[in-house]
């Protein structure tokens, strides 16, 4: 996008709208009579709305620091998925009474892009056991989501956002916020290796729009079978990126602290590969891309701790959700790179054998 500071959007104060404001916006612009409940968000102001007829929605009020083009990109991506692959369950964008899918609402801090999407039922993956079946099902679902986004293009698809791995080198500039010397060294080593050996390969990789944030808070499971993915939410970190980045971001949450730390990752990647085969160069980059995502998570978390007060609800939520990132980064960093790459290549080879035998 503009080459702006990739922390600018998450550094800005979230929009200040009340639940009463959300009820008013729903009535005035969508003709809905609702109750509203505030949702925790990194940079937007979001509300869970419940209408009198039982229908549920999420009202999303974007940060004034976010380029409207990026918000338009997110809206159009959801509409693209709905048109191309409706069996992939994502929030559906609800038009306002004037037919608009994106509104502009003023506040004292400026103008904010606003959209309404459907609320998806289900159980969050967060807090659920990561079984082999669940990792495999998520791998297949993630690959199908990637296919649904394949071919979608938009001028807002390269946001100036720290979670966009195209901006990973910026993590160096905030690594000093990590207080523990050994952990800070690991973070910097990850980014330095990325700069020298991984980023130069990006132009050679398959690139498309990806979700870029399939973390356990964004994956819904079927209440009747929690090994089965029921839907995907929160498309706020989407970006045009090497496809394998999406694989690595999701795999970074397959955290195993006992036994083989690569077992869950291998199950996920093997299932992904069975739907969308990974190229050899992509397989060989997954290990380092996972570490870059973990390093970014650690650095941003400590940056936020240094910047935000103790009453920041998103900080409190993210500290709890990401408290294991540093530990897992240490575990993965202790694995020889070639051993990790060989394990993940073997997972893909096993998926190929299963497919050739009719088991894929």
- pLDDT, tens digit (0-9, with 9 covering 90-100), for 47-89: 999 999 999 999 999 988 899 999 999 999 999 999 999 999 9
Residues 97 and 158 in one domain: no
Residues 207 and 66 in one domain: no
Helix (H) or strand (E) holding 145: helix 132-149
From 93, 118, 143, give the residue that closes a domain: 118
* Half-sphere CA count of 60, side-chain side, radius 13 A: 27
Is 57 part of a structural domain of the chain? yes
Is 53 part of a structural domain of the chain? yes
Burial class of residue 307 (count of CB atoms within 10 Å of its CB; 0-12, 13-18, 19+): middle
Q: Could you give the 3-state DSSP secondary structure of residue 110?
A: strand
Residues 186 and 333 in one domain: yes
* pLDDT above 60 for 2: no
Mean pLDDT (whole number) for 273-279: 97
Mean pLDDT (whole number) for 222-241: 97
* pLDDT above 90 for 110: no
Token pair of 173 as six digits: 């500039």
Residues 100 and 139 in one domain: no
| pLDDT score recorded for residue 360 | 47
In sequence order, what are the residues at sequence separation of 6 or more whose Cβ sits closer than 8 angstroms to the Cβ of residue 348?
269, 270, 273, 277, 278, 283
**Domain of residue 171, CATH code:** 3.90.1200.10
Burial class of residue 26 (count of CB atoms within 10 Å of its CB; 0-12, 13-18, 19+): buried
Share of residues in the chain with pLDDT > 90 (%): 82
Is 1 part of a structural domain of the chain? no
Split into its structural domains, the chain has a count of: 2
Residues 246 and 346 in one domain: yes
Buried b (16+ CB within 10 A) or exposed e, 27-46: eebbebebebeeeebbbbbb
More confident residue, 128 or 313: 128
From 118, 134, 168, give the residue that closes a domain: 118
**Domain of residue 80, CATH code:** 3.30.200.20
Residues 46 and 147 in one domain: no
* pLDDT above 60 for 1: no
Residues 138 and 23 in one domain: no
pLDDT digits (tens, 9 = 90+) for 154-197: 999 999 999 999 999 999 999 999 999 999 999 999 999 999 99
Residues 80 and 127 in one domain: no
| pLDDT score recorded for residue 318 | 67
Q: Give the position of tokens 């693209």.
A: 80
Is 297 part of a structural domain of the chain? yes
> What range defines the domain where residue 80 resides?
8-118
* pLDDT above 90 for 23: yes
Binning pLDDT at 50, 70 and 90, where does residue 11 land?
confident
| CA pair distance 176, 181, nearest whole angstrom | 9
From 91, 118, 145, give the residue that closes a domain: 118
Residues 224 and 261 in one domain: yes
Residues 96 and 164 in one domain: no
| pLDDT score recorded for residue 359 | 54
In sequence order, what are the residues at sequence separation of 6 or more whose Cβ sits closer than 8 angstroms to the Cβ of residue 122?
220, 221, 222, 223, 230, 231
Mean pLDDT (whole number) for 97-107: 94
pTM: 0.94
Look over the chain and give the mean of its residue pLDDT values, rounded to a whole number: 93
Residues 204 and 285 in one domain: yes
Is 273 part of a structural domain of the chain? yes
Is 3 part of a structural domain of the chain? no
Sign for the pseudo-dihedral over CA of 116, 63, 125, 82: positive
Binning pLDDT at 50, 70 and 90, where does residue 313 land?
low
Residues 79 and 194 in one domain: no
* Half-sphere CA count of 350, side-chain side, radius 13 A: 14
Is 15 part of a structural domain of the chain? yes
């Amino acid at each position: 996008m503009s080459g702006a500071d990739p922390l600018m959007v998450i550094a800005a104060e979230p929009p200040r709208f009340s639940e009463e404001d959300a009820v008013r916006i729903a009535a005035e612009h969508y003709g809905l009579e609702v109750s509203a409940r505030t949702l925790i968000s990194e940079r937007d102001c979001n509300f869970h709305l419940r209408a009198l007829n039982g229908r549920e929605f999420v009202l999303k009020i974007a940060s004034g620091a976010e380029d409207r083009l990026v918000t338009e990109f997110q809206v159009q991506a959801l509409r693209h998925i709905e048109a191309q692959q409706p069996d992939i369950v994502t929030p559906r964008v609800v038009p306002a009474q004037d037919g608009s899918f994106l509104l502009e609402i003023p506040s004292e801090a400026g103008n904010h892009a606003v959209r309404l999407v459907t609320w998806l039922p289900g159980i969050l993956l967060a807090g659920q056991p990561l079984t082999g079946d669940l990792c495999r099902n998520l791998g297949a679902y993630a690959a199908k989501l990637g296919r649904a986004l394949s071919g979608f293009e938009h001028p807002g698809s390269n946001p100036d956002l720290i979670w966009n791995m195209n901006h990973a080198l910026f993590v160096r500039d905030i690594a000093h916020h990590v207080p523990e010397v050994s952990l800070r060294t690991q973070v910097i080593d990850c980014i330095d290796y990325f700069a020298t050996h991984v980023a130069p390969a990006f132009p050679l990789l398959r690139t498309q729009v990806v979700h870029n944030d399939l973390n356990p808070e964004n994956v819904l499971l079927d209440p009747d079978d929690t090994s089965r993915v029921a839907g995907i939410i929160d498309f706020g970190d989407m970006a045009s990126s090497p496809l394998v980045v999406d694989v690595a971001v999701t795999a970074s949450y397959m955290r195993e602290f006992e036994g083989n730390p690569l077992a869950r990752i291998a199950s996920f990647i093997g299932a992904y590969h069975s739907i969308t085969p990974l190229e050899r160069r992509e397989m060989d980059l997954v290990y380092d891309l996972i570490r870059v995502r973990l390093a970014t998570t650690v650095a941003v978390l400590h940056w936020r701790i240094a910047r935000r007060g103790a009453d920041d609800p998103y900080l409190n939520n993210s500290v709890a959700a990401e408290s294991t990132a540093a530990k897992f980064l240490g575990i993965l960093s202790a694995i020889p790179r070639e051993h990790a790459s060989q394990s993940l290549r073997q997972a893909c080879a096993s998926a190929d054998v299963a497919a050739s035998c009719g088991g894929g």
